Amino acid sequence: MGLLDRITSPQDVRALPARDLDRLAAEIRDFLVEQVSRSGGHLGPNLGVVELTIALHRVFESPHDTLVFDTGHQSYVHKLLTGRRDFSALRRRGGLSGYPSRAESEHDVVENSHASTALSWADGIAKARQLRGEPDRHTVAVIGDGALTGGMAWEALNNIAADSERRLVIVVNDNGRSYAPTTGGLAQHLDVLRTTRRYESLLSWGRSTLHRSGPPGRLAYEALHGVKKGIKDVVAPQGMFEDLGLKYVGPVDGHDEASVERALRRAKAFGGPVIVHVITEKGRGYTPAEQDVADRFHAVGRIHPETGLPLAPSRFGWTSVFADEIVRIGRRRPDVVAITAAMLQPVGLAPFAQEFPDRVFDVGIAEQHAATSAAGMAYGGLHPVVAVYATFLNRAFDQVLMDVALHRAGVTFVLDRAGITGDDGASHNGMWDMAMLAVVPGLRLAAPRDEATMRAALRTAVDVDDAPTVVRYPKGAMGDAIPALDDVDGVDVLARHEGEGRRVLVVGVGPMATTALATAEILAGHGLAVTVVDPCWVLPVPAALVKLAGEHDHVVTLEDGLVDGGVGALLGQRSREANVATPVQSVGVPSSFLDHASRDEIVDALRLRPHDVAADVLTALAARG
């Protein structure tokens, strides 16, 4: 029986003798590689925080003390040490979440997997502890150097530093990476702080030299003190934190459990806000991850545990099409630049960066800054393309509205992983964008259905220089081409089924065009006359689509975004404004948070399959008589 098998709670971790902790860390790494290679998930971040998480649970007493993990993709070790050993269905329906989950454990607090939020959570929790008279309860926030590039983290630091009485420990897990190498001034500052190791080595050498040369005089001691002060000022400017009023401890070797534990105990005893700077290595202990420079092991699918290679090759996907087309556009348009929020590889901008290194700007995990900086670039004569996951654009809505749209800035937002994504859970589904952006004046949004329409949409988007444009597309592999039979004032007609019954217009938004075609086949089998269309550019609602609605007896819209405020709802509203009486039946995602599950399972649960949609349309028609 291994040590990990005996861990059912943090009390068991605290009870272990120190001599057993290296063995426990090794067992945890073996477990993570074995299990995550089967299920997929965030492997690299968790391999990097094994000793850190062990030390946290030995120094602090969760849940009496509160541990908050920023983004939470490094929480697998925490799950193991709090008694959650069944990783067989990790990130699958009914299994463990890939992030902290209150439904799973009292040791989990923050479920939102959007970065840079942990310090604000910790600030609020610590304030509550203080006001409720609970001085024996500590709050600990674990935040990576990547997440510290987000402005929200610095807003929180500004407030945390204003009160020296709160028992709040901030652990900076510094591995030099988020999804990619951390960029910006903070990253450079932390690089300098890391060199304190060399500074400490130099001091040790100086002390030993003085010792060997006999009893040192006062002058020698003063010289050594001067060297120490001078070197510290140059290579360890902790003042950035200390000038804010925050005690600084570190840097500490994050893979030396005893050192991390000592640093955390010092921080705990201080009685006020403390930053503990811990240096870790992402992917630690797993050779394929340690040797990888592209950070492919941040999040993995199913892989071979020994080689790290995927068990099944990825099919050509939407992101790959974007990556190729944006390079083609860049060759033709020297004014086109690209902006990424710490996700150069995941959003497909690496080829563009390789060909046009001076035209790519990685702003860190700072979507708000990305949007407003893009507005400034547009004012300066460039056309910025901001590529983010759809769920992360939520964070920059005010900037899209007030900085880009209000100023009629020609900025293109490319939303990867739009719609239902599934296994990463509630905060990663990109289902909010169409309803959210529908209220932005002047904004145009395209939802392409296949490769050809996606390439065309991107080319059209970057040609707009007086308003924001958006191109959204789903996660994963790209389906077969869906050619248009006809074009009605910019709206593609995909199929026509003759029939004697009532005339039904089926509107497929983006990748839901495939579902629309299959739904039409079923409806045609019931004798209905069915037309299938795809507007591609869905915001604002095309006038031609309203006209087509008026030529039919019933309209059904299919979208992988919110029903409330979505394309169908807007089409209904525009139809009423145009005195078109045709009822519009909207089919899509309800306004609720979706539990983690596969995309197919969520589609089934939401009744978005063609047979379900067809049945609901037939029911609606029957109810009207």
Confidence of residue 120 (pLDDT cuts 50, 70, 90): confident
Residues 254 and 377 in one domain: no
Q: How many whole angstroms separate alpha carbon 157 and alpha carbon 146?
A: 15
Residues 449 and 324 in one domain: yes
Q: How many whole angstroms separate alpha carbon 391 and alpha carbon 431?
A: 7
Dump pLDDT digits (tens) for 149-191: 878 888 888 888 877 778 899 998 888 654 455 555 555 555 5
Residues 403 and 426 in one domain: yes
- Give the residue-averaged pLDDT of 536-542: 96
Tell whether residue 591 is among the known ligand binding residues.
no
Domain presence at residue 166: yes
Tell whether residue 114 is among the known ligand binding residues.
yes
Tell whether residue 389 is among the known ligand binding residues.
no
3-state secondary structure 533-549: EECCEEECCCHHHHHHH
- Give the residue-averaged pLDDT of 520-528: 94
Give the number of C-alpha atoms closer than 13 A to the C-alpha of residue 493, restricted to the C-beta side: 14
Q: Which pLDDT score is estimated for 571?
A: 96
Q: Domain count of the chain?
A: 3
Q: Which amino acid is at 623?
A: A
Confidence of residue 237 (pLDDT cuts 50, 70, 90): very low
Q: Which of 439, 472, 505 is the last residue of a domain?
A: 472
Residues 464 and 498 in one domain: no
Q: How many whole angstroms separate alpha carbon 209 and alpha carbon 181?
A: 39
Q: Name the nearest CA neighbour of 490 among 561, 546, 562.
A: 546
Q: Catalytic positions, please?
A: 282, 367, 395
Q: Which amino acid is at 298?
A: H
Residues 75 and 39 in one domain: yes
Q: Which of 246, 271, 290 is the last residue of a domain?
A: 290
Please give the distance of CA 413 from its chain centroid, rounded to a whole number: 16
Residues 138/60, Cβ–Cβ less than 8 Å: yes
Q: Which residues pair with 530 in a beta bridge?
A: 497, 504
Tell me which residue range forms the domain holding 74: 4-195+236-290
Taking 90 as the threshold, does the pLDDT of residue 339 lie above it? Answer: yes
Residues 465 and 516 in one domain: no
Residue with tokens 């009423």: 576
Sign (positive/negative) of CA torsion 51, 57, 60, 64?
positive
Q: Which pLDDT score is estimated for 205?
A: 46
Q: Which pLDDT score is estimated for 181?
A: 56
The CATH number of residue 336's host domain is 3.40.50.970
- Give the residue-averaged pLDDT of 536-550: 96
Q: How many whole angstroms separate alpha carbon 431 and alpha carbon 468?
A: 19
Q: Which pLDDT score is estimated for 419?
A: 84
Tell whether residue 367 is among the known ligand binding residues.
yes
Q: Which pLDDT score is estimated for 313?
A: 56
Tokens of 588: 């899509």
Mean pLDDT (the chain) is 84
The CATH number of residue 493's host domain is 3.40.50.920
Q: Which pLDDT score is estimated for 185?
A: 55
Tell whether residue 115 is among the known ligand binding residues.
yes
Residues 505 and 468 in one domain: no
Residues 63/568, Cβ–Cβ less than 8 Å: no
Q: Which of 472, 497, 529 is the last residue of a domain?
A: 472
Tell whether residue 575 is among the known ligand binding residues.
no
Tokens of 386: 């901001």
Q: Which amino acid is at 591?
A: S
Q: Which pLDDT score is estimated for 583?
A: 95
Confidence of residue 249 (pLDDT cuts 50, 70, 90): confident
Residues 458 and 504 in one domain: no
Q: Which pLDDT score is estimated for 293?
A: 53
Domain presence at residue 89: yes
Dump pLDDT digits (tens) for 268-307: 998 888 889 888 887 776 666 666 655 566 666 666 665 5
Tell whether residue 145 is among the known ligand binding residues.
yes
Dump pLDDT digits (tens) for 560-591: 998 999 999 999 999 999 999 999 999 998 88
